[in-house]
Structure formats: structure tokens, C-alpha cells
Structure 1
Amino acid sequence: MKKQLITLILLAFSVSAFAQEWSFGAKLGMGSYNMLELKNFQRYRVRQNVLPLKTTESYPVSPIYSAELALKNILYLDKMGVFYTFNSTGSRSTVSDYSGRIDLDAIVNGNQLGLSFLKNFYQQNNFSTGAYLEASYLFSSLKGKDYIAITSPIKITEEETYLFHSKGAGTELGIAATYRLSSLNFQLNLGYLHDFPGKLYPEGTKDQWLAVENSEVRTAWSGFRMGLQVAYIIEPKKKLYEDQYAGN
């Protein structure tokens, strides 16, 4: 029954697509991230070191890259589509002097794949404003690297890396302002992402997971999102023919 329902939805989507406008857009934005447990994990790593390491980066605001393929004016929505988003941030604690250097790095990447929905509540000429919702599957990876370089009295270099993966979900709700210029849409959005992260498992196993002092460590992509999307509008052939005949 579930498979039949999915098949019917996909069939209805594909049939309606012939009479609808498509859009393909790319978005560049900025995101803030909670990452509270990962910040605590970095502090724990620093405490385990006898040297006075200083944290210079702690999961700061960073760029977000996104691509979307969508149908316009479908059902009661102004836009519905599928999207992919890449997020990345990290942390660094370091200390250095004449005798060497120590770096404790952590880089976390997030890949989102999901559905996007837009409903406009105000429209005048080519300008519109509305609300959007994104629901996504979220796959995260955490890469840690411990680097030690001793230059005196003898040169010694050691590097240790570790990798963790997690699976989760996320929902983003916000407002969007759109301006259409010929076959291009310019959309500015401001929203908040709330994620539901899973455990961070070491690469290749699920028998263990990342924890500090009996407390699980998870990613936390939750935070504010702001971005600008530029989308190219692909009109149906029927409408193109009508516009050509109207011009004649």
C-alpha cells in the first residue's frame, strides 16, 4: 500500500509537471550553528593536554551552498522542489613556540537532501513575499586531526586522524522575498533550521559511538540561515507557443 501511494504521488507529480514552470536555482548563504556538544568535546580535548592550548576557532558562522530543482504553482503552493545543501564548520585549538607546535582540529560537514515548499502571501507585479519550509535528511561527518611537530632539539612530526558519521533530519522554517526578472528569479530568505541528530559512530562500525564522560556527543546544525538564490525559470512549451502567437 505504501509503495502504491508513493507511485501515485510520483505519477501525479510527473503528469502535472508537463503543464508547469520548472526552476533550477543555486543559493549561497550563511549559517550559524549550535554545536554545543562538539564545543564541549573540544574543551575536553584541550583539558587532556598538558600544554596551554588556545581555541582560535569554535564552529563559527560559515558559508552554505545549495541547489534546488522545483515546480512552480503546483497544488496550493507557489513552489515545491527537491534540494541539496552543503554545510561545513570546525574548531581549532593550538599552541606553538620555538620548539614546536600542536594543533587539535575538528571539521564537521553536513549534507542535506530534502523537499522544499514555498507559499506566497503577498504579490505585486514581479515582487512577492511568503513563507517557506524545508524538510531534509541530514548526513554528517566529523573529522578530527591531532598534529604535533617538534623542531628542537630534533625534528619529529606526528599526525593522528579519526572520522565519525551520523544520520539525522532537519526542518527549516522562514520567510522569503522573491523578485522575477524575465526568466530569472532572485530570492532572499531568512529562516531557522532545527535538526534532529543521531549518534556519531566511528567509521566502519556501529558498536560504539562518540561520548565524553558518559555523555553522547552529537552534531547540532540548529541555527539561523540566510541566503540568496538565483533560479532560472523553464516555461512549458505550450506557454512559449502562446507567447509567440500573441507576439505575432
Structure 2
Amino acid sequence: MMRMFRFILILLFSFWQIALAQVEPQQKASVRLKIAYSFYAMNDMKAFNKELLRQYQYTVPDMAMTENFPAFFGYTIEVFNPFPRMPFGYFVSYNSTGSRITYSDYSGAVYYDMLVKRLWLGIFKEKTVKHGFYISLYAGVMANYLMINQKLIVWQEQVKSRSKYWGMGLAIAPNIGYRIKFNGFSLGIYLGFELDYAAIDLKNTENPNLRLHFKGAYLNPDWSGLRFGISVGY
């Protein structure tokens, strides 16, 4: 509850700052592509996987977790200051990560895979500080997607199952960066941190009443974490 309250306060403050912002006259419309190495909290998802692995190991002691929602690259396309009287830009961002629990021997294999994706849409405000340094603030709505694949292979026989879930959330991300410009193009680096809140819990795409539970709460992805990235644009 406190996490939700803190998130709402930060979000309201962020939009208040955006609403009061003034467009800097020297800034022109620009389009940029950003690629960031992204760390994801995913605390509930990781804890769920560890408990699942523990249960598997009761019957298959050598079952192992080979991936557990590691850091991965994320991609963003943004348009800054497209309208003269609008003090912000627009962006769309894509991220993905996943996990695998598996075991294999001469007779077959077992796989339990979870793939999480999200699409984040929103607005941002950017302000040049000095000598190419800038600060920016991103805020928007995200759509989460989870796919769980299970596969059992015994000799020549295979049994597969797949379930899909979707949900929605809110996210904000302050960034600080440095950008150089030459011949109309720009190249930059930046450091950021994202904070998420799951507004709509993950629901099964075929049966919306079916949700994932863990320790008395609904299971949701958490994309919060550090971002180290580069940007190119014009």
C-alpha cells in the first residue's frame, strides 16, 4: 500500500512539473532511438521461480534454474518537441526478459519457461542543463504480457502446454545524460531509473478470472531498475 501511495505522489508531482514546464526556444523537434541495458527488479517473479524450483526438486533433485529474469537490452523510440506549444515529447518503449527451469538426461527433458514482455507508451520532458548535459522525466502507461511454456520430453514423446497472461501498469523514469550534436545528428549516453506500479493484475487471456497467485498476492512483473543506455537521433 505504501509503495502505491509513494508512486502516486511521485506521478502527480511529475505531471505537475511537466504542466508547468516551458518549451526552450532553442530546442527543435527531434527523433531518437535509444538502446539501454536494463536491470529489472522482478522480485515476486524471481521468488515464485525459486519456490517452483524447490517443489520440482522434491521429485527431480537435479532440476536447475538456468535463467531468472536477467538484465537485458530495451529499446525506445521518442519524438521530442514535435509541436511548438507542447512542452513535452512522446515515446514508445519495449522490454523483455525471462526465466527457465529445466532438467535433461538420456531419456528426455523437462522445461518450464516464462517469457515477459512489455510495451510502454507515454510522454516525457527534457531540459538541457549545461554543455550538453540534460535531465529528463518519462511517465506513461505500460501493457504487460506473460507467456508460460511447459514441455515434457520422454524418449520420442512430447507433451506441451502454453498459457498467456496480460496486465497493465504505470511507470515513471527520471534520466540524466550527455549528448553531443554534429551536422544535425546527435549521439548521447544516459543513466536512468524506472519505478513501476501494476495497475491491472495479470489475467489469463482465455479465462480473465484466472490469475497467478503467490504468497497471498497476485503475481505481476516489476520492471523497476537501473538503465544504462545510448541514444542516436537527429
Q: Do they superpose with TM above 0.5? A: yes
Give 1:22 shift. Answer: 1.6
- Correspondences of 1:64-213 after superposition (within 5 Å): 64-71=74-81, 80-123=88-131, 128-151=132-155, 155-197=156-198, 198-213=200-215
SS at match of 2:34: strand
Distance in 2 between the 1:75 and 1:118 partners?
14
Higher CA-based Rg? 1
Give 1:231 shift. Answer: 0.8
Task: Kindly provide the CA deviation profile for residues 40-82 of structure 1, in whole angstroms up to 9, marking residues without a partner as x.
Answer: 22223323322131001111010111111111796796xx310
Compared CA separation, residues 138 and 73, structure 1 to 2 (3 A): closer
TM-score for the superposition, normalised by structure 2: 0.82
Task: Choose the corresponding residue for 1:29, options 26, 31, 36.
Answer: 36
1:85 and 1:112 in contact (8 A); partners too:
yes
Task: Kindly provide the CA deviation profile for residues 216-247 of structure 1, in whole angstroms up to 9, marking residues without a partner as x.
Answer: 21111000011111111xxxxxxxxxxxxxxx
**What is the aligned-residue RMSD (CA, Å)?**
2.1
TM-score for the superposition, normalised by structure 1: 0.77
Give 1:131 shift. Answer: 1.1
Is 192-201 or 213-222 further displaced after alignment? Answer: 213-222
Distance in 2 between the 1:204 and 1:55 partners?
28
Q: Percent of pairs identical after alignment?
A: 25
Give 1:33 shift. Answer: 0.3
Give 1:148 shift. Answer: 0.8
